[in-house]
Structure 1
């Protein structure tokens, strides 16, 4: 069993060390989410932090505290956000950083890490494989290893989020915190439980990467076979020994959300709060939206832990979210290949109130009978009820429909 050697005093020391380096990020009341969840919801905007996530707090605290040991530079493994934190902190300290990231890491996170002057090595299919490669490089070079979560100084840096929460909302009842390896929830919970032990700390994991939940359920650390989720920032197969012990001591509950729920949370945050949040940062809202925890009537802080999401991923999530909300419909039908047939179809759609986004008319496909044409249509719709009305209207007009994914 690992000794818990992170204290409130260390977290206060980290706050002084970070003063002028990191932002005291806003805690914003979210009216729409409050009405949806039946509680007072406050968003902790770590997606607006320098480097786009809370990770700069722990990385900078570690590097600033260890400066005399860093003559051979630092090495770290990261899915992306810790990479940027280490790279930024290293550039401030004037030392070389080597960051190992999974081969499938988001391009935006890779390029941002390089922009801070770090050397990026792409290795492995996930964080844990990248971690093994980083350890190999550390042994070969003698650089200082900056762990993403299982380090007292890193955890103390992340704990400054908890201090800020209590300063901004002293009567806080509950905090929803993303869990990957457990560094953020360990530090935050350590700070809050020391100052206000009645506050509930609820961790949220991706259902396809529930490493901390499994460890707590089993009573020991268990490595998952895989950790594949759109929430790449928390795609970790096993927690750290220190974070596991801290989670067992300080965390009240852990819940999970699946990728569909995370994607829906990302688009809802974007639409309602006008905030860009990555998958890991959206899991707390996903848990609230899908009733994974009982928070009625409480004052609830949700940590939006990061906003480093690839634009291509956003576009896919938006499209899927629109489909789920009944605001986007793709379908195929057959029309007679003669003048006026396509115009008649479009007239029916116009009468339905749907907006045509795109249309493809093809009369030469081998499987389309002569004198007929296949039409693929993408529509903007209002909701599921509107889609039902459009389908009924088209079928009444004699059209046979196939729905496309």
Structure 2
């Protein structure tokens, strides 16, 4: 029996609280990408929704729970995607949402948060500094602090992706999941290990932000002093102990990818799949590029987790 914070019955029930536009996302084999990588590659597309990422699955659970308990406000720290998703779900459920982000966050993500009418506060420093400020706001105002990956709703919302994958588990033998705070990895991993235990759950993180992968390998929390990666959505320095405990139960491996492989992965997804993705969403492809012999001939799913990217930066990364 899996000993994690997640619960399969709650995950199944979560589908009733999540707006259907976030559910049952496309899963299809991309033959051109597979030929280029030397394996069969299917894409689980989590970007065809109003917030262009998988985060809406979790924020829908958060917002509906707050509404049901008579709460009217929430605050979160975000690299961009969680903030946009919480702002969107909060507006739908009548909540007052504040997002704290770093000045370094991509301008495109910040602009979309503002466009919702969501209150946005910017701080100097990185995501972990934003997390500290969000916690202070929650204490000062007496409102809910939404913490991605720590809050079980964010994990169990993401876990509904796993339910959809499990229905077609006979068509693949491994899933590649971008690893940051760990909500998607622990959520999808929990479901697959419960319902399709023969599927390998492989997490992928940038070499420039390796804290959770190092923690997974050493089976203890390992922090880093800084991050240096274009994959801003997964660039944390301080893994959450409870999330690491869950990850250790459900992940088969965690690997690191170089920046060059992430960029090549973005180019390949554009060329072979017609997808404009943010760097974090290319980590699965990057993992195959890093170790082609490991994945040769296998049947893989890569989760395309977000497409919120600054177009000027994207053009710089992907131009020949």
Q: Which residue of 2 aligns with 1:259?
A: 259
Aligned residues: 318
Superposed CA RMSD in Å reads 1.6
Q: Which structure is larger by alpha-carbon Rg, 1 or 2? A: 1
List, as ranges, runs of 4+ consecutive aligned residues in structure 1 with deviation greater than 6 Å: none
- Rounded to whole Å, the distance in 2 between the matches of 1:259 and 1:125 is 21
Residue 125 (structure 2) aligns with: 125
| Residue of structure 2 in register with 1:305 after alignment | 305
**CA 1:226 to 1:306, structure 2 compared with 1: closer, same or farther past 3 Å?**
same
Give 2:62's aligned residue: 62
State whether structure 2 residue 28 is matched by structure 1 residue 28. Answer: yes
Q: After superposition, what is the alpha-carbon deviation per residue over 1:220-241, rounded to whole angstroms, capped at 9, x for unaligned?
A: 1122111221000101112222
Q: TM-score, normalised by structure 1?
A: 0.76
TM-score by length of 2: 0.95
Q: Secondary structure at the match of 1:66?
A: helix
CA distance in 1, matches of 2:28, 2:169: 10
Alignment-derived partner of residue 372 in structure 1: none
Residue 40 in structure 1 maps to residue 40 in structure 2: yes
Aligned residues of 2:78 and 2:130 also touching (Cα < 8 A) = yes
For 1:49-82, what per-residue CA distance to the aligned partner results, in whole angstroms no more than 9, with x for missing partners? Answer: 3301001111111221232445340000000011
> 2:90 touches 2:97 (CA, 8 Å); kept in 1?
yes
Match of 2:112 in 1: 112
For 1:78-227, list aligned pairs within 5 A. 78-227=78-227
User: Which structure ranks higher in relative contact order (CA pairs < 8 Å, sequence separation ≥ 6)?
Assistant: 2
Moved more, 30-39 or 205-214: 30-39
Change beyond 3 A, Cα 1:172–1:70 = farther
Structure 1: any 5+ residue segments left out of the alignment?
Answer: 323-405
Change in Cα spacing, 1:94 to 1:251, as seen in structure 2 (3 Å) is same
Show the counterpart of 1:328.
none
Query: Could you tell me how far 1:164 is from its partner in structure 2?
Result: 1.1
Aligned partners of 1:23 and 1:49 also within 8 Å: no
Q: Report what 2:16 is aligned to.
A: 16
Partner residue in 2 for 1:75: 75
Distance 1:236 1:292 in 2: 27
Structure 2: distance between partners of 1:6 and 1:199: 19
**Which residue in 2 is equivalent to 1:240?**
240
**Is residue 70–residue 144 contact of structure 1 (8 Å, CA) maintained in 2?**
no
User: In structure 2, what is the Cα distance between the partners aligned to 1:138 and 1:299?
Assistant: 45
Q: Partner of 1:346 in structure 2?
A: none
What are the within-5 Å matches in structure 2 for residues 271-350 of structure 1? 271-291=271-291, 294-319=294-319, 322=320
Question: 8 Å contact 1:206–1:283 — kept in the other structure?
Answer: yes
